[in-house]
């Protein structure tokens, strides 16, 4: 049996090198996407060394596109869009037009055709969802007014790009030769009719059938079967949309995610498919990087410079002027413009589609990829310059978020920092509410953060492993930290960061295994609750059996030391 095949070599090389480059990007405080793209350059045909199989990489990238679009659909929130529709919809549309015109100008100067310039400009007009959310979450801006506007703006951009993915093949077929120009309206109308049929089927049948099927699977009690069902829905609907209705994989996957996003199982569906979505998303970015020819940097420095300027300055300036024209303050305009000063997933999909259809020359695709890598790398620095960590900006952030109560809580001498508002976190928070102890929540997931705020708790949205988030939560004045998230090893990183900032802080965490318990204790947790043993002890007590085999818990609190409540 051979120990090497092009498929295995492509997957292994892509993931391994993407890990190292992504870790390097994370170390440099840059989006890992830049690292994944550079990993693709490393295994691509334009650099020495191992060359991955381009055809297989493209096939894997198609699965990555399907799962990426499925994830976009799962998190699509019509409510969030409608809340800021008065600025997000017209603002995004005007900004897309402005950026597209700038891109068409570059294409005209390069001697490309009108449609090539249109595809090029369209690819420059849409920002990366991953990069934007990372920038907002790292600065706790998601739940502010400007954060909601930025997210709503991006939703509109994504919807426009989904429509573009549907119409571009029709445009390409209609313009294949001069005699077919007259048939272009028919080609577009035919495509729109197929899309309408698919959408109608999804809204009439899919909206009832897909949730019913998932609920049936849930009641089987099999987590493995549920995970398989979600993947079958994502991939099956995408393939069926392409095979039956001749529309793109991306549109089918987006609608499948959007339908499931309306159900109560959307959160679980997102969690179960996240590892596979992440893995194939990495392979997608690697496959995109493989298409990039680094020689464009030396052979076309001026067009590359103009492309990057269009992404970083051109469309950002357009967004800034639009937001200011709608009467929003300078800080909001700067946040929106900085958020959009990069391009990402949809740009790559458009570039690949345009190149495959013969609409976009290879030089245009290379400029898009180079512009994406450079803009993603520059975005954190641009965001810091635009948003800034000055006292005045922090004060405006507090005013915009309505945090008078938060400031009142932070002035207390003692409070409990609770990390996580999941099933356990909600129970702990409810119990603490009945005491005089002040509670401050840290929650990384925006939907849970909104739920905690609706329940009346003060919330800091972000990852508790970041020092800035712990500082905002008032770790210097906290009496105790309770880590209620279920991931024991991730909790260990939070414990280590908290103990580094304040060694005397008492930290309580939870674990699901002896390995997690040992990991938490090694990183400084004062008390660890292991759920399975607590359940076993309570069940033994209820049946009147002796629970001597199960260690009794140590009371949490200062002076416990690194003892585990096993």
Alpha helices, DSSP H, located in 111-128: 114-125
The 3-state DSSP class for residue 511 equals: strand
What is the reported pLDDT for 19?
94
**Mean per-residue pLDDT for 170-194?**
66
**Mean per-residue pLDDT for 216-233?**
84
**Mean per-residue pLDDT for 515-540?**
86
Q: Examine the pLDDT at 554 and tell me if it is beyond 50.
A: no
Q: Examine the pLDDT at 181 and tell me if it is beyond 60.
A: no
Q: Examine the pLDDT at 146 and tell me if it is beyond 90.
A: no
CA angle 536, 441, 433 (to 5 degrees): 70
What is the reported pLDDT for 508?
93
Q: Quick one: which of 163, 106, 159 has its CA closest to 129? A: 159
Query: What's the pLDDT tens digit per position in 474-495?
Result: 888 888 999 998 888 888 889 9
The pLDDT confidence band at residue 170, using thresholds 50, 70 and 90, is: confident
The residues, ordered by sequence, that sit 6+ positions from 292 with a Cβ below 8 Å of its Cβ are: 37, 40, 41, 44, 46, 366, 369, 370, 373
Q: Examine the pLDDT at 397 and tell me if it is beyond 50.
A: no
CB 133 within 8 A of CB 72: no
The pLDDT confidence band at residue 182, using thresholds 50, 70 and 90, is: low
User: CA-CA distance, 31 to 51, in Å (whole number)?
Assistant: 25
pLDDT-above-70 percentage for the chain: 84
Instruction: Name the residue with higher pLDDT: 69 or 413.
Output: 69
The pLDDT confidence band at residue 183, using thresholds 50, 70 and 90, is: low
Quote the mean pLDDT of the chain.
80
**Mean per-residue pLDDT for 528-550?**
75
Angle between helix 330-339 and 391-401 (nearest 10): 100
The pLDDT confidence band at residue 18, using thresholds 50, 70 and 90, is: very high
CB 326 within 8 A of CB 399: no
Sign of CA dihedral 460, 463, 468, 474: positive
Angle between helix 145-174 and 114-125 (nearest 10): 160
CB atoms near residue 357 (< 10 Å)? 17
Whole-number Cα distances in Å, 54 to 21, 45, 150, 357, 407: 20, 8, 36, 17, 55
**Mean per-residue pLDDT for 270-278?**
78
Highest mean pLDDT among 34-43, 303-312, 385-394, 543-552: 303-312
The pLDDT confidence band at residue 563, using thresholds 50, 70 and 90, is: very low
**Mean per-residue pLDDT for 75-88?**
74
User: CA-CA distance, 494 to 490, in Å (whole number)?
Assistant: 7
**Mean per-residue pLDDT for 353-373?**
88
Least confident window among 28-32, 201-205, 326-330, 354-358: 28-32
Query: What's the pLDDT tens digit per position in 23-65?
Result: 998 888 777 888 888 898 899 888 888 888 878 887 887 888 7
What is the reported pLDDT for 96?
92
- Estimate to the nearest angstrom the gap between the alpha carbon of 227 and the chain centroid: 20
**Mean per-residue pLDDT for 304-316?**
92
Q: Examine the pLDDT at 439 and tell me if it is beyond 70.
A: yes
What is the reported pLDDT for 99?
92
Q: Examine the pLDDT at 525 and tell me if it is beyond 70.
A: yes
Least confident window among 141-145, 161-165, 328-332: 141-145
What is the reported pLDDT for 404?
42
Query: What's the pLDDT tens digit per position in 109-139?
Result: 999 988 899 999 999 998 887 677 667 766 6
CB 506 within 8 A of CB 481: yes
The pLDDT confidence band at residue 100, using thresholds 50, 70 and 90, is: very high
**Mean per-residue pLDDT for 442-447?**
80
Instruction: Name the residue with higher pLDDT: 82 or 226.
Output: 226
What is the reported pLDDT for 382?
84
What is the reported pLDDT for 184?
61
Place of tokens 């596109």: 65
User: CA-CA distance, 555 to 369, in Å (whole number)?
Assistant: 56
Instruction: Name the residue with higher pLDDT: 214 or 313.
Output: 313
């Amino acid at each position: 049996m051979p120990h090497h095949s092009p498929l295995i070599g492509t997957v292994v090389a892509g993931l391994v090198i993407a890990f190292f480059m992504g870790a390097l990007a994370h170390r440099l405080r840059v989006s890992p996407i830049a690292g994944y793209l550079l990993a693709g350059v490393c295994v691509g045909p334009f650099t020495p060394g191992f060359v991955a199989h381009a055809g297989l990489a493209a096939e894997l990238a198609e699965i990555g596109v399907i799962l990426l679009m499925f994830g976009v659909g799962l998190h699509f929130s019509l409510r969030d869009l409608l809340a800021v529709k008065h600025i997000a919809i017209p603002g995004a549309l005007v900004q897309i037009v402005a950026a597209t015109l700038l891109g068409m100008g570059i294409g005209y100067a390069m001697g490309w055709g009108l449609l090539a310039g249109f595809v090029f400009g369209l690819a420059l007009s849409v920002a990366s969802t991953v990069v934007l959310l990372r920038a907002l979450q790292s600065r706790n801006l998601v739940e502010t007014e400007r954060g909601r506007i930025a997210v709503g703006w991006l939703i509109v951009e994504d919807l426009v790009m989904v429509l573009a993915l549907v119409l571009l093949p029709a445009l390409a077929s209609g313009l294949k030769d001069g005699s077919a120009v007259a048939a272009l309206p028919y080609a577009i109308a035919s495509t729109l009719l197929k899309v309408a049929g698919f959408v109608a089927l999804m809204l009439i049948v899919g909206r009832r059938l897909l949730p019913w099927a998932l609920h049936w699977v849930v009641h089987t009690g099999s987590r493995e079967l549920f995970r398989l069902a979600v993947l079958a829905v994502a991939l099956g609907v995408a393939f069926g949309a392409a095979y039956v209705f001749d529309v793109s994989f991306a549109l089918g996957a987006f609608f499948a995610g959007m339908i499931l996003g309306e159900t109560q199982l959307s959160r679980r569906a997102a969690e179960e498919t996240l590892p596979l979505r992440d893995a194939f998303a990495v392979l997608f970015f690697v496959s995109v990087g493989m298409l990039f020819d680094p020689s464009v940097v030396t052979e076309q420095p001026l067009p590359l410079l103009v492309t990057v300027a269009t992404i970083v300055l051109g469309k950002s300036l357009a967004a800034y002027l639009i937001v200011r024209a709608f009467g929003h303050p300078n800080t909001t305009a700067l946040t929106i413009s900085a958020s959009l000063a990069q391009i990402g997933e949809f740009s790559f999909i458009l570039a690949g589609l345009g190149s495959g259809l013969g609409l976009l020359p290879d030089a245009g695709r290379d400029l898009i990829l180079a512009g994406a890598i450079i803009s993603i790398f520059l975005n954190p620095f641009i965001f810091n310059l635009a948003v800034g960590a000055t006292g005045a900006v922090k004060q405006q952030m507090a005013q915009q978020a309505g945090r008078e109560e938060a400031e009142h809580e932070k002035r207390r001498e003692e409070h409990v920092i609770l990390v996580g508002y999941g099933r356990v976190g909600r129970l702990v928070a409810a119990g603490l509410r009945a005491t005089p102890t002040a509670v401050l929540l840290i929650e990384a997931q925006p939907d849970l953060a909104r739920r905690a705020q609706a329940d009346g708790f003060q919330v800091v949205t972000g990852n508790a492993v970041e020092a800035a988030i712990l500082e905002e939560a008032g770790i210097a004045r906290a009496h105790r930290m309770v880590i209620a998230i279920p991931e024991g090893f991730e909790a260990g990183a939070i414990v280590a960061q908290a103990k580094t900032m304040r060694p005397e802080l008492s930290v309580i965490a939870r674990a699901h295994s002896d390995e997690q318990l040992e990991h938490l204790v090694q990183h400084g947790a004062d008390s660890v609750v292991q759920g399975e043993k607590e359940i076993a002890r309570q069940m033994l007590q209820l049946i009147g059996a002796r629970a001597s085999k199960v260690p009794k818990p140590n009371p949490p609190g200062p002076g416990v030391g690194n003892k585990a409540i096993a």
